[in-house]
């Protein structure tokens, strides 16, 4: 990786992931669907063995508290779509992103996303970090590929903190 921005972004990602891994290693199957408040978003059985996440095109007010299951689905959605864009593939629609279920299946899914993302980061020497980012700003010329990579680090850190806090709250009960 020749560009110092790429080195920094990779180091930030590695730090973020190490903090996330602390919580992933400690998640129990019952953590995923624990509802921390009466108003929450979760993933619900669809009747065919799959799961459907609660979702609204316009964020409700008040914002529902998400479950770990919902947050893990959300990570799979935004990160998977970002990987699609970074690899030049057509991005999946939100409804095409299937949550694998409680426990090990979700943890393995998240770790697989990390592996896919590392492959993207390993190719940064072949990427123009100053090119317009295809996502999440929908080709806004003011946001670059470097911005997109930094956004992944920020979004993952936020979601890791949310999962960690929910896991610790449930454990403390």
d(CA 105, CA 10): 26
The backbone torsions φ and ψ at residue 41, rounded to the nearest 5 degrees and listed phi first, read -105, 140
Q: What is the pLDDT of residue 138?
A: 85
Q: Phi/psi class of residue 144: alpha, beta or left (left: φ > 0; alpha: ψ in -120 to 50)?
A: beta
Sorted by where each begins, the domain ranges of the chain are 1-33+102-173
Tell me the three state secondary structure of residue 130.
coil
Residue 8, both tokens: 């920094």
Q: What is the pLDDT of residue 1?
A: 60
Indicate whether this model's pTM tops 0.85: yes
Could you read off the pLDDT tens digit of each residue along the chain, which spans 173 residues?
Answer: 667 888 999 999 999 999 999 999 999 999 999 999 999 999 999 999 999 999 999 999 999 999 999 999 999 999 999 999 999 999 999 999 999 999 999 999 999 999 999 999 999 888 899 999 989 988 889 999 999 999 999 999 999 999 999 999 999 98
- Pairing type for strands 40-41 and 65-66 reads parallel
32 Cβ contact list (under 8 Å, min separation 6): 67, 68, 69, 72, 102, 103, 106
- Residue pair 72/42 in contact (Cβ under 8 Å)? The answer is no
d(CA 134, CA 87): 11
The backbone torsions φ and ψ at residue 48, rounded to the nearest 5 degrees and listed phi first, read -115, 20
Q: What is the pLDDT of residue 99?
A: 98
Q: What is the pLDDT of residue 5?
A: 87
Q: What is the pLDDT of residue 2?
A: 66
Helix (H) or strand (E) holding 52: strand 51-53
Q: What is the pLDDT of residue 63?
A: 94
């Amino acid at each position: 990786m020749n560009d110092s921005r790429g080195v920094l972004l990779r180091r930030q990602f590695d730090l973020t992931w190490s903090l996330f891994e602390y919580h992933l290693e400690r998640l129990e199957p019952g953590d995923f669907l624990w509802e921390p408040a009466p108003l929450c978003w979760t993933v619900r059985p669809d009747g065919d063995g799959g799961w459907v996440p609660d979702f609204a095109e316009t964020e409700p007010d008040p914002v529902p508290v998400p479950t770990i299951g919902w947050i893990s689905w959300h990570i799979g959605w935004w990160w998977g779509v970002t990987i699609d864009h970074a690899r030049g593939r057509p991005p999946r629609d939100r409804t095409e992103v299937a949550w694998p279920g409680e426990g090990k299946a979700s943890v393995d899914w998240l770790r697989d996303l990390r592996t896919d993302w590392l492959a993207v980061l390993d190719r940064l020497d072949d990427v123009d970090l100053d090119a317009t980012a295809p996502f999440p700003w929908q080709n806004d010329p003011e946001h670059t590929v470097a911005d997109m990579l930094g956004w992944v680090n920020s979004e993952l850190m936020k979601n890791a903190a949310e999962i960690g806090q929910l896991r610790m709250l449930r454990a403390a009960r």
